[in-house]
Structures are given as C-alpha cells and as structure tokens.
Amino acid sequence: MSERKYVIDQMISAKSIAARVEALAAEITQSFRGTEKLVVVGLLRGSFVFIADLVREIDLPVEVDFLEASSYGDAMHTSREVRILKDLRGEIAGRDVLVVEDIVDTGFTLHHVKNLLLSREPRRLEVCALLDKPSRREVEIRATWTGFEIPDEFVVGYGIDYAQRDRNLPYIGKVRFV
C-alpha cells in the first residue's frame, strides 16, 4: 500500500490549545471540588498529550489511568465496531471519574466506553473532549466539557494521528491530501 501524500494546515495554534486547557482545568477543578481523588481516564492513544497537559492544570488530587479503545485502526473512517484493547488497571466503583477523549466524532467509541465505565458504578462520571465534530455524530452523546468544536475535517497533531504519524505536532492541523 503506498502512502498518500498530504500537507497539514494549522487549524488551532499551540497557544490557543494551552489557554483552553487551562480554562477547562479550572472548570473541572471547580466542578469536582471536594472530591477525595479524581480518577482521570485517558482514552489512548489520541488523548495522551491532552491528558498530560490537563492533569497538570487540575488543582485536585488525581489518579491517572488509561483505557484503549479502537474503532479506526489506521483508517480515516470509523468501522463502528468498538474494541477495548487495554482496560483500566484500577477500580472505579464509588469514585469520581473524568474520561478524557481527544475527539468526539461519530460518538460510537465514547458511547461504548461511557456505558462500559458506568456499568462499573462510579460515584460520578463526566467527559472532557479536546475536539468535537457534532456534524458527524451518529450516536447521541455529548462531552461535559469541550475544548473546541470543529468542522468535519480530518485533523492531526497534539496527540492525534493519521496512520500513527503527526502526533507530535504542538498544534491541531487539518490534513489536506495532494
């Protein structure tokens, strides 16, 4: 399979992302004020940069865990079949949980993950997504907090990849095939 050539047009700057992460963390801190410990669950792999920046800004005791779910593989479109590739290490029953997602697209992955985690009976479960593409939604689901709403564009950077590339970009960029 030959790789498709593409260019990346900056969509959201690193500075804008940093400011929004700080604001989201302040809102999350306020909302969970009084919690004994907030379990922050990052959905791998796309959220790893976002979760690292977000937890450093949350002014609460936090525990970080990860769950890896896949409905894309190396493709640009969801398969609608959500597979759990890595489950949580810790228990969340009776605990305050914040799920951190890179992008809410069709909603299939987040819907599946949220239902899975709710079945484990957390005290409270909320979702923070860096990006939201509401025009692509096929499942009724919303994040409690959203960093940026974006149009239906394929994006990379700040942890988000195309075929395991471009996760290391400090900004969010739109992929344009040439």
Q: Where do the domains of the chain lie?
A: 14-145
User: Are 28 and 40 within 8 A, CB to CB?
Assistant: no
Report the distance separating Cα 51 and Cα 57, nearest Å: 10
Active-site residue list: 105
Q: Give the other-Cβ count within 10 Å of 156's Cβ.
A: 23
Report the distance separating Cα 128 and Cα 146, nearest Å: 6
- pLDDT at 156 exceeding the cut of 80: yes
Residue 1 has what pLDDT? 45
**Which of 61, 63, 57, 23 has its CA nearest to residue 40?**
63
CATH class of the structural domain 14-145: alpha beta
Q: What is the DSSP string of 88-153?
A: -SS--TTSEEEEEEEEESSSHHHHHHHHHHHTT--SEEEEEEEEE-GGG--S----SEEEEE--S-
Tens-place pLDDT, residues 23-73: 999 999 999 999 999 999 999 999 999 999 999 999 999 999 999 987 755
| Model confidence band, residue 2 (pLDDT cutoffs 50, 70, 90) | low
- pLDDT at 135 exceeding the cut of 80: yes
- pLDDT at 103 exceeding the cut of 90: yes
- pLDDT at 128 exceeding the cut of 80: yes
Give the pair of three-digit tokens for residue 132.
């939201």
> Cβ-count burial of 28 within 10 angstroms (0-12 exposed, 13-18 middle, 19+ buried)?
buried
Helix (H) or strand (E) holding 49: helix 48-57
Residue 72 has what pLDDT? 55
From 60-64, 80-84, 109-113, the region with the lowest mean pLDDT: 80-84
| Model confidence band, residue 177 (pLDDT cutoffs 50, 70, 90) | very high
User: pTM for this structure?
Assistant: 0.92
Report the distance separating Cα 99 and Cα 50, nearest Å: 12
- pLDDT at 79 exceeding the cut of 70: no
